[in-house]
Structure 1
Amino acid sequence: MPRPPLVIGHRGAPGYRPEHSRSSYDLAFAMGADAVEPDVVASRDGVLVVRHENEISGTTDVADRPEFAGRRTTKTIDGASLTGWFTEDFTWEELATLRCRERLPRIRPASASFDDRQPILRLSDLFDLVRAASIEHGREIGIVLEIKHATYFEGIGLDLVPLVEAEVARSAAGIPLVIEAFESTVLERLRQRGVPATFIYLIGAGGRPADLVATRGADAPTYRDTVTPRGLDGLVGRVDGISVDRRVILAPNTLGRATGPTRVVADAHRRGLRVYTWTCRPENAFLVGEFRGSGGPSAFGDYEAEWGVIRDAGVDGVFVDHPDLGVAFFRG
């Protein structure tokens, strides 16, 4: 009987509470998640902050704070022009005054009802929450730590590698730790420095990794190249596994029908690589076309049928926005 995959609370339980808020994580712990996934970016003074992106206007109340109006600016992050407010332009003391907001209020209005109630978290805060939750719930809970925009931050003088290394040494003792990134170079640097973790390379359904684009330009391999047998060969010994966009497994065709599971999971396993996938969500807005139902984007479609394709592929871990649904389906 295959072992069920790890159920990882993607930013906590953001199907029910604003992502990366304390209540989002607390709910994920209570719902039985094996691990939770924080994204980390940096403040101006080098504090690792738990946010989906360094641009924070969509997940905090910063745009409504007159004292920070002058911080609004436009930057290019990994080749994309963004206008808003960025964590690296604030000290942690300033960021700590902000409050969390739901990133997808039209799809998740119930979660948005919890807006403006909770401060944002540091990575150190989350390590403390996970340690306490493991004791409270009587089981080992892990962290799958995603490092965001490492090349960009290094380019502005905020190298995330020593910051992560120091925080792990300070705070992570006794907590199962996975470190993941869309940039393999940051994973390799942390591994070379002896940071005790499992290292997972995040792979999108399209595009190219920002770190390799920065050094190789148009010659940088695509993410699609990376999940070919030859590409996977090149990862052996460099990382412990991959985490792929679920579409890489589902392989939807132009009619919106899943043609998978593809061979990527089996190919990776043959090379000794673990495989995680992201993100399993039940709402119509996120499902492959054939699994969508009535009721509009926020209604639940036939998510179990889509998740069944992913389960049958034999993945080792799944990221979910609704940990209760993930636990019921993947462990059921």
Structure 2
Amino acid sequence: MKLSAACLLMLMPVAGCAEESKPVTSDAAHNAIVIAHRGASGERPEHTIAAYELAIAQGADFIEPDLVPTSDGVLVARHENEISGTTDVAGRPEFAGRRTTKAIDGKQVTGWFTEDFTLAELKTLRAKERLPQLRPANTGYDGRFEVPTLAEVIALAQKHGVGIYPETKHPGYFASIGLPLEARLIEQLKAAGWTRRSDPVFIQSFEVDNLKALRKLTDLSLIQLIDKEGAPADRAVESYAAMRTPAGLKAIATYADGIGPNKDVVTAELVEAAHAAGLKVHPWTFRAENYFLPMRRWSGVNPRGRGDLPGEIAAYLDMGVDGIFSDFPGVAAQTVGKTHNQE
């Protein structure tokens, strides 16, 4: 993410504080799940065991690993397969020759890619904060944590009795290079004893064919992600806007159990239509920094400052959403009204 020049000028060390979390009172809101978006990524570098552990301590119901493969076919937790923004790979001279440019979902991307590293090589790298301008405190953890495998995330979740909410990243691209994700993912979930819709697992994807393939392999809950603009990488003629119509939602219900919409497109009408189609609604992503909040919920003028995240979450709970993706699962859990377990 790049900040505008105006925002950069306003970045200062101290800003206003967020309002204290006020639990909402409706039964529907209390049943909403809290999904730790890449772990407690507002307070630790994303997709690290430390971020997941903190999220669990703060009361998250699910932890989210975005999944990409290594060259030897091991699924690891990174938001993207290009890892220069989330690891120290760019500063590692032994891997300088791995820098390259690839076409990922129709876009040219330059950097270092997980599929060009074995797991053993990837484990020598260390995670770093992806948004240092907005989250400078997190940079104090740079260099301390490994890139976790899916197996490690599953073990952590089962140890603490929480669910996982994996996202298959760029599944069409990985299938095209001989590293399909679907069977690898389902095999590990099955080995963990997770096979039924009642199990604490949601599998999410922006692509359609990926979810349809997964439906043939598993009875676990599937979620169709929906962005504000554009279309799934594998369905360029099928827009996200069309997916949000009653007809589009009914089509999604033939292969998925819910939608994960960009919060900017969520309305009470969308929630009602999704529920009418038998779909759950889990919007993303709720973040505390002013930069990510509507102006009316800012505290002070510093984009880095913490605004009224509880108020924003409460407004969506009042619309009847079934879950919340948040970088700050502690705030989300308190707002939903769950027990806050942080020691």
The reply to whether TM is greater than 0.5 is yes
Partner of 1:252: none
Q: How many residues align?
A: 308
2:313–2:332 CA contact under 8 A, matched in 1? no
CA drift at 1:329 = 0.9
**Which residue identity is paired with 2:58?**
M
3-state secondary structure, aligned to 1:113: helix
**Which residue identity is paired with 2:55?**
A
**Which residue identity is paired with 2:324?**
V
Question: Which residue of 30, 34, 57 corresponds with 1:7?
Answer: 34
CA drift at 1:44 = 0.7
- Extract unaligned runs of 5+ from structure 2: 1-26, 339-343
Cα deviations across residues 225-265 of structure 1 (Å, max 9, x unaligned)?
1001111121122111101000011xxxxxxxxxxx34110
Cα deviations across residues 285-324 of structure 1 (Å, max 9, x unaligned)?
1112332231411101222332232111100010111111
CA drift at 1:112 = 1.3
- Extract unaligned runs of 5+ from structure 1: 135-140, 214-219, 250-260
CA drift at 1:170 = 2.1
CA distance in 1, matches of 2:253, 2:221: 13
CA distance in 2, matches of 1:12, 1:108: 15
Partner of 1:107: 134
3-state secondary structure, aligned to 2:110: strand
1:248–1:262 CA contact under 8 A, matched in 2? no
Task: Please say if 1:46 is aligned against 2:80.
Answer: no
Cα deviations across residues 78-108 of structure 1 (Å, max 9, x unaligned)?
1111110000111111101111111001111
Tell me the C-alpha RMSD between the 2 structures.
1.4
CA distance in 1, matches of 2:225, 2:194: 24
Pair 167,87 (structure 1): closer, same or farther in 2 beyond 3 Å: same
Question: Which residue of 229, 251, 276 corresponds with 1:206?
Answer: 229
CA distance in 2, matches of 1:317, 1:2: 10
Q: Normalized against structure 1, the TM-score is what?
A: 0.90
CA drift at 1:65 = 0.5
Question: Which residue of 283, 286, 293 corresponds with 2:292?
Answer: 286
Task: Please say if 1:267 is aligned against 2:267.
Answer: no
Correspondences of 1:73-88 after superposition (within 5 Å): 73-88=100-115
1:11–1:321 CA contact under 8 A, matched in 2? yes
CA drift at 1:184 = 1.6
CA drift at 1:172 = 4.6
Question: Which residue of 48, 51, 54 corresponds with 1:21?
Answer: 48
CA distance in 2, matches of 1:105, 1:231: 38
**Which residue identity is paired with 2:103?**
T
3-state secondary structure, aligned to 2:41: coil
Partner of 1:157: 178
3-state secondary structure, aligned to 1:81: strand
Question: Which residue of 81, 85, 89 corresponds with 1:62?
Answer: 89
Task: Please say if 1:167 is aligned against 2:188.
Answer: yes
CA drift at 1:111 = 1.1
Partner of 2:151: 124
1:40–1:148 CA contact under 8 A, matched in 2? yes
Task: Please say if 1:188 is aligned against 2:194.
Answer: no
Question: Which residue of 179, 182, 194 corresponds with 2:203?
Answer: 179
2:99–2:110 CA contact under 8 A, matched in 1? yes
**Which residue identity is paired with 1:203?**
I
3-state secondary structure, aligned to 1:206: coil
CA distance in 2, matches of 1:304, 1:168: 33
3-state secondary structure, aligned to 1:285: helix
Partner of 1:322: 328
1:274–1:316 CA contact under 8 A, matched in 2? yes
CA distance in 1, matches of 2:308, 2:146: 35
CA drift at 1:2 = 2.0
CA distance in 2, matches of 1:274, 1:82: 33
1:201–1:243 CA contact under 8 A, matched in 2? yes
Question: Which residue of 141, 148, 173 corresponds with 2:169?
Answer: 148
Q: Which moved more, 1:174-183 or 1:312-321?
A: 174-183
3-state secondary structure, aligned to 2:121: helix
Partner of 1:234: 251
Identity %: 45
**Which residue identity is paired with 2:249?**
L
2:88–2:143 CA contact under 8 A, matched in 1? yes
Q: Which moved more, 1:154-163 or 1:304-313?
A: 304-313
3-state secondary structure, aligned to 1:279: coil
Give the strand-richer structure, 1 or 2: 1
Pair 12,172 (structure 1): closer, same or farther in 2 beyond 3 Å: farther
3-state secondary structure, aligned to 2:333: helix
Q: Which runs of 4+ in 1 moved over 3 A?
A: 172-175
3-state secondary structure, aligned to 2:224: strand
CA drift at 1:3 = 4.5
Higher normalized contact order (CA 8 Å, seq sep 6+, divided by chain length): 2
